[in-house]
Amino acid sequence: MTAPVKRSDIRAAVDRGRAFPRRPFHPVLIHLVTTVVAGVLYYATAIPGLAWGDSGNVQVRVLSGIIHDPDDPSRSHIPFYVMASALTRLGVEPHRAATLLSAFAGAVTIGNVACILTLLCRTRRAVVAATILSMFSHSIWSLAAVPEVMTLSSALFTFELIVIILFLKRGERALLCLAFFLNGLGAATHNMAVLTCPAYVVMLFAHNRRETPVGGRDIAMGIAAWVVGAAPLVWLFIKTSTATGSATAALSDMLAGRFAFAVFNTGSLPRLFLRTVAYTVYSFPTPLIFCAVTGCAHLWRRADRRMMLFVSMALLFQGLFVARYNVPDQHTFMAQMLILLLLFAAVGLDEFCEARPAGIVPTAALIALACPAILVYSATPHFLRRYWPESTVVPTRFIPHRDSLDWFLKPWRNGDDGAQRFARDVLRDIPSNVVLAVDSTLMPPILYLQIDEELRRDVQIVSAHTYQTWLPDEFRLDEPAARNEAIAAGRLYSGTDDSSALNPHLRDPRYSFRPSGVVFLVFDSTPDGSSGAPR
């Protein structure tokens, strides 16, 4: 005798049917096709050589074989460097290995997004248009075109979203464990993965109210899976705790590190919020993104609300973090938030498409509205350069061989060899046996050439002793005696004379800077200065 069917079971089945409609594409097929297309785009437009800043630092670490960052555990990102190092063992040059991995991870992210859209949307037009939006978004494209850890983090995040959707559809506990594992691996790749954890709490609470509860044993297995995924992070925690002698200090170093002031920032919020909104519009420069407003209502009304709660909570915590994170490259950390926003826009667009008949003209118009990003990215730097030259939309610091507007506003990097040219100019013109103080933007390409080609290893770079292993002693710019001695001997050079980018120990009013090639000789300009007049 069969058991009677409960009304709640019928309602849950109907809700699942609404939340997960008949698929417009086969998820695996659309994933493969989209990944290949995005991969070709991203690799074709990737930077050909060395990069500036954090991207250049990624290349230096891959070249040096440094799997975890001994100076700042929060920036270790171990899984990315393990994978990049594996590529170098296959014969790929270190700087190309880092770029190739980033482009591939960016392409997989877009493939994952397309797969998610096939699980959420009913119409092919909405899936195609939203996928194009994601592929051309400045956020993901600009990250995939340079060596960047956030691309791998975003790939794991979107894979985690796929697994969550499948868990809510099927109710299989193994899928929940897989989601926990992916979150742990994501946390080992980048700390931003922990921002998704509150979404799990809310989603599981809602799940236990209407479905077979996820019990303590299931939660324990999920936590175990998370620990397995986060094994590199656990290892780093043990190593850091041993080195510092304090578990609390180790945890603080791993979660925030030297950027704690930005992680816990509560100042300049209106400016940061406006910058977040502006970059969101710049990443999706099309009226289609406003479908996110209606998409919220449609997803809540027609979908499994557990999924709606999960996506909403993840978006909330991602947004709260990004809108407070006061760093020059704030936009780098917006990729996952923008992906979540795109899901709402896709659902709203799907409702719009479903209510209107398909046809060649409407479909062509929809695709056209999804593609203006390339034109916007091409035109914006020229517009600002011509009509608003004093604009501070992006950092305007002058760096030889780099156009700041192009660098920050165009996502493609093909043909950009500015960092390599700058580094070669520095190492060609700078005198022998000197000390060079450069910031994290300028240091990586110079350091890469010193390590890889053994160029001008007599030039000692401040704060680079971890990588300049051929030098016996570290030069400490924070030690007044060493600093004054180097200035008096005419041995201290700076990569810039811009006060905003100077090393803090060189911002004393008595220090002046004389151009010497593309760098600057530091001298004491006071009458009784120990270095006297510049030579």
Regarding whether 426 and 332 lie in a shared domain, the answer is: no
Regarding whether 433 and 365 lie in a shared domain, the answer is: no
Regarding whether 469 and 344 lie in a shared domain, the answer is: no
Among candidate residues 310, 343, 373, the one where a domain is terminated: 373
Residues 6+ apart with CB under 8 A from 409: 138, 282, 377, 380, 381, 384, 393, 394
**In this predicted structure, what is the pLDDT of residue 5?**
47
Residue 453 in domain: yes
**In this predicted structure, what is the pLDDT of residue 396?**
74
**In this predicted structure, what is the pLDDT of residue 209?**
81
Residue 531 in domain: no
Residue 405 in domain: no
Give the C-alpha separation, 217 to 244, whole Å.
35
Regarding whether 200 and 117 lie in a shared domain, the answer is: yes
Task: Please give the backbone phi and psi of residue 493, each rounded to the nearest 5 degrees, phi first.
Answer: -125, 150
Residue 532 in domain: no
Regarding whether 215 and 100 lie in a shared domain, the answer is: yes
Regarding whether 368 and 428 lie in a shared domain, the answer is: no
CB 382 within 8 A of CB 481: no
The one-digit pLDDT tens for each residue of the chain (535 residues) are 445 545 455 445 444 444 445 677 889 999 999 999 999 999 999 999 999 999 999 999 999 999 888 888 888 899 999 999 999 999 999 999 999 999 999 999 999 999 999 999 989 999 999 999 999 999 999 999 999 999 999 999 999 999 999 999 888 999 999 999 999 999 999 999 999 999 999 999 988 887 778 888 999 999 999 999 999 999 998 988 888 888 888 888 888 777 777 777 777 888 889 889 999 999 999 999 999 998 888 877 766 788 889 999 999 999 999 998 888 788 889 999 999 999 999 999 999 888 877 778 888 888 999 999 999 999 999 999 988 887 777 777 889 999 989 999 999 999 999 999 999 999 999 999 999 999 999 999 999 999 999 999 999 999 998 899 999 888 999 899 999 999 999 999 999 998 888 999 999 889 999 999 999 999 998 866 554 444 4
**In this predicted structure, what is the pLDDT of residue 10?**
45
Give the C-alpha separation, 243 to 237, whole Å.
10
CB 189 within 8 A of CB 159: no
SS3 state at 373 = helix
Question: Any idea how long the chain is?
Answer: 535
**In this predicted structure, what is the pLDDT of residue 223?**
95
Residues 6+ apart with CB under 8 A from 433: 458, 459, 491
Regarding whether 431 and 311 lie in a shared domain, the answer is: no
For residue 461, give the nearest of 508, 469, 81, 399 by alpha carbon: 469
**In this predicted structure, what is the pLDDT of residue 339?**
97
Regarding whether 475 and 359 lie in a shared domain, the answer is: no
Regarding whether 148 and 14 lie in a shared domain, the answer is: yes
For residue 112, give the nearest of 158, 169, 166, 149 by alpha carbon: 158
Regarding whether 446 and 358 lie in a shared domain, the answer is: no
Residue 227 in domain: yes
- Domains in the chain: how many in total? 2
What is the DSSP-derived secondary structure letter of residue 402? Answer: B
SS3 state at 57 = helix
What the block records as the tokens of 429 is 């013109």
Regarding whether 440 and 330 lie in a shared domain, the answer is: no
Regarding whether 243 and 345 lie in a shared domain, the answer is: yes
Give the C-alpha separation, 263 to 267, whole Å.
11
**In this predicted structure, what is the pLDDT of residue 105?**
98
Residue 69 in domain: yes
DSSP of 192-227: GGGGGHHHHHHHHHHHHHHSS---HHHHHHHHHHHH
Q: Is the pTM of this model over 0.85?
A: yes
Annotate 477-497 with b (16+ C-beta within 10 A) or e (fewer).
Answer: beeeebbeebbeebbbbbbbb
Residue 369 in domain: yes
Give the C-alpha separation, 389 to 501, whole Å.
21
For residue 82, give the nearest of 234, 189, 236 by alpha carbon: 189
Range of the domain at 216: 7-373
CB 177 within 8 A of CB 163: no
Annotate 88-106 with b (16+ C-beta within 10 A) or e (fewer).
Answer: beeebbbbbbbbbbbbbbb
**In this predicted structure, what is the pLDDT of residue 3?**
52
Residue 395 in domain: no
The three-state DSSP-derived secondary structure of 115-157 is HHHHHHCCCHHHHHHHHHHHHHCHHHHHHHCCCCHHHHHHHHH
